[in-house]
Amino acid sequence: MPIIYDEKKRTFKLDTATSSYIIKIYEENYLLNLYYGAPIPETYISGRECRQRNASFSLANSVIGERAFTPDTAPMEYGCNGAADFRISALAVRNINGDSVTDIRYVDHKIYAGKPGIPGQPSSYVNNESEADTLEIYAEDAVTGVRVTLYYTVFSSCGVMTRRVRVENTSSFCCDIERVFSLCVDLPTMDYDFISLYGLHYKERYVERRPLAHGLQGIESKRGVSGHCQNPFVALAEHNADERHGTVYGFNLVYSGNFSALAECDFNHSTRLIMGINPVDFGWRLAPGEYFDSPEAVMVFTEGGIGEMSRIFHRFYNTNLIRGRWKNQKRPLLINSWEAAFFDFDTEKLVDFAKTAKQLGIEMLVMDDGWFGRRNNDTCSLGDWFVNEEKLPGGLVPLIEQVNKEGLKFGIWYEPEMISPDSELFRKHPDWHVHVAGREPMIGRHQYVLDVSREDVRDNIWQQMYKVLSENKIDYVKWDFNRNISDAGSALLPADRKKEFFHRFILGTYDLMNRLVTTFPDILFENCSGGGGRFDPAMLCYSPQIWTSDNTDPIERLYIQFGTSMCYPASTMGAHVSANRRTGYETKGNVAMWGTFGYELDPRKLTEQEVEIVKEQVRRYHEYYDLIHYGDLYRLISPFDNPYRAAWQIVSQEKDCFMLTLVTMRSELYPNIIVKLQGLDPKKQYRNETTGDICSGALLMNAGLVLNNVASRTGESCVIYFTEA
């Protein structure tokens, strides 16, 4: 059984394929974490309940007395505020007396097969109940009547555990949640590096690694979205851990709003890591009988290094997070009109694009920004989701019919959570944007953010979108979000609930997205936020792919895609070939092929040579689709570690074929390039489809492949395919 309760020892043991996790019900019903690490058979480890005390007059429970135990240093399973645990808190609830002392103790538990969803929020799921088991631990604060349910779901076969928290008010008075994190992990050492993904627009998810230090360190967003600058992913890795070896803990939050991931190292050299909703500008009032659900966090442990941590995330997200028709069905190869036309297009130009694209083998034309209202530039019309018939006479029907006649599917762009001051919607409803009374709201990109925490606002946007999507044959929707949230407030929230705004906004976005994907299950949705500004697991529950970055330069994309792949699979990474970038079309295609693949250019401007290159890329897209989207990734040479080149390998689940990609970012004199491959069956024989050479998996992994004279110049690249001989 993946979850065991040892009644005699009063311990819970949770096992995945790669880890064991042990929780102890201690004296006075304190919940303690005794172990999280590589699999072990025991259900109890002695001597772990107490650590050295008196960090600074550490306090003791009056019943247990002045002995070794103190909440100040004990490995608390879910550290709370104000009751002698002075480290960073996962939970703080302000009660009717005005204090925020929170002290939860074990009351009961339940273990069952399967996994429940979270009302109103996205989360991972089971395809059948045998895939996972769930533990619910019920704890209470006896003084305030706050009841806390700690949820743990163990996906035993894939090395994943998910966690979340429910806080319920069982008293007869209101209380206020001031902070509620989705997970809290106490580790007995601080001998780890903290790995995170930082960035900005055009430079998303760069890998940063630094040793843990005493005190508090971490990442967060308070932009209203997960954001370009930090991603809701962190890992703790042994100092010597690399792609192939070493202990690694990975954590990813299934949430699209303000988040925080913090690690605190104390005088005992132990580490507490918490991850969840950012408590800055957060609060939630609970009336008697009400409850609050935190978002879900995904936890991975492995001794197989950073690469294996990534592969566990990838497999899990492909099978238990992404959903709907497009989870496993092959997605159409698209061309997007943005970089080819921007706002300057009409029916004739788009149909002309489609005719040329069809000759290249492309399967879908996406009409980007500029089709609605009076949208001829980015200064107006967001919120007016009706067709601009000056550009598109007769509406979308004639355009779509002509595009379909050419043999292509048709897609469209939206930015539903935004409103332009110069729009019919704003003039009709000037109070519908996010703002606070008495302040002139900040403006960004000539737009405000719509208050989708309000049901009436969501209903209006839904009705506009429903009309377009139900009356036209639309196969794809790109959902954009091109602003952060400032002046955060809703006209409908009373003063004592103002801090609920950010989370209610995200719940509103989820509600709107859920309506769309359930009403239009055949539409392929792709998320976007100025590129990769909202690349998080929650968005993947609604859109199986996300535009990775507005930066399509293939050399810059190496860094972005290497970083993104730390926890997100190739099937989720929107990647296109575009014009006017460094390198030739071969390298543009080879880099973009590590993703959903598509084009962002005017196909009419391609030379004859470029046309042949694109046709070959299209052929390879179809032939190797399953391998790229669902194979196992091995990062062989990282651009973060090597200034000259990058290399990666994707291996089929059956280990019967694989592809190797090498990109030279900067040439060097007399290179001696030997690349050792990974993830192969050492006993199998593999044929190099380029040279015809046959080598054993053992040779390719242990001796390596000599690539001295391949793609040696700056900007050059190669892809080599191998099949089982």
Residues 6+ apart with CB under 8 A from 607: none
Beta bridge partners of 7: none
Distance between CA atoms of 313 and 536, rounded to whole angstroms? 13
In the numeric block, the tokens 């014009």 are attached to: 579
Distance between CA atoms of 348 and 326, rounded to whole angstroms? 30
What's CA 228's distance to the chain center, in Å? 12
Q: Is 176 a catalytic residue?
A: no
* DSSP assigned state of 498: G
* Domain 3-320 = CATH 2.70.98.60: yes
Distance between CA atoms of 87 and 72, rounded to whole angstroms? 7
pLDDT at 581: 74
Q: What are the domain boundaries of the chain?
A: 3-320, 332-547, 633-724
Cα first-last separation, the chain:
40
Q: Collapsing DSSP states into helix, strand and coil, what is residue 549?
A: coil
Picking from 335, 409, 354, the residue whose alpha carbon sits closest to that of residue 577 is 335
Residues 6+ apart with CB under 8 A from 608: none
Distance between CA atoms of 582 and 580, rounded to whole angstroms? 7
Distance between CA atoms of 576 and 335, rounded to whole angstroms? 8
Domain 633-724: CATH class, spelled out: mainly beta
* DSSP assigned state of 333: P
Q: Is 266 a catalytic residue?
A: no
Which residue numbers in the chain have pLDDT < 50?
Answer: none
Active-site residue, from 480, 536, 602, 632: 480
CATH code matching the domain that covers 332-547, chosen among 2.60.40.10, 3.40.190.10, 3.20.20.70, 3.40.50.620: 3.20.20.70
By residue count, the chain amounts to 725
Residues 6+ apart with CB under 8 A from 553: 581, 582
C-alpha dihedral sign at 440, 446, 448, 449: negative
pLDDT at 66: 62
Q: What is the DSSP string of 586-631?
A: HHHHHHHTSSS-EEES-GGG--HHHHHHHHHHHHHHHHTHHHHHHS
Residues 6+ apart with CB under 8 A from 135: 3, 12, 14, 109, 110, 111, 151, 152, 153, 154
Active-site residue, from 368, 550, 602, 632: 550
Q: What's the pTM?
A: 0.98
Task: Quote the tokens at residue 278.
Answer: 């950012």
Q: Collapsing DSSP states into helix, strand and coil, what is residue 700?
A: helix
Distance between CA atoms of 675 and 5, rounded to whole angstroms? 47
State the angle between helix axes of 608-623 and 347-360 in degrees (0 to 180), rounded to the nearest 10.
Answer: 70
At CA 99, angle to CA 96 and CA 102, rounded to 5?
Answer: 95
In the numeric block, the tokens 């989708």 are attached to: 452
Task: Quote the tokens at residue 552.
Answer: 């399509």
State the angle between helix axes of 585-592 and 554-564 in degrees (0 to 180), rounded to the nearest 10.
Answer: 10
Picking from 368, 363, 365, the residue whose alpha carbon sits closest to that of residue 341 is 368
Distance between CA atoms of 173 and 287, rounded to whole angstroms? 7
Q: How many other C-beta atoms lie within 10 A of the C-beta of residue 407?
A: 13
At CA 290, angle to CA 258 and CA 457, rounded to 5?
Answer: 55
State the angle between helix axes of 455-471 and 501-519 in degrees (0 to 180), rounded to the nearest 10.
Answer: 20
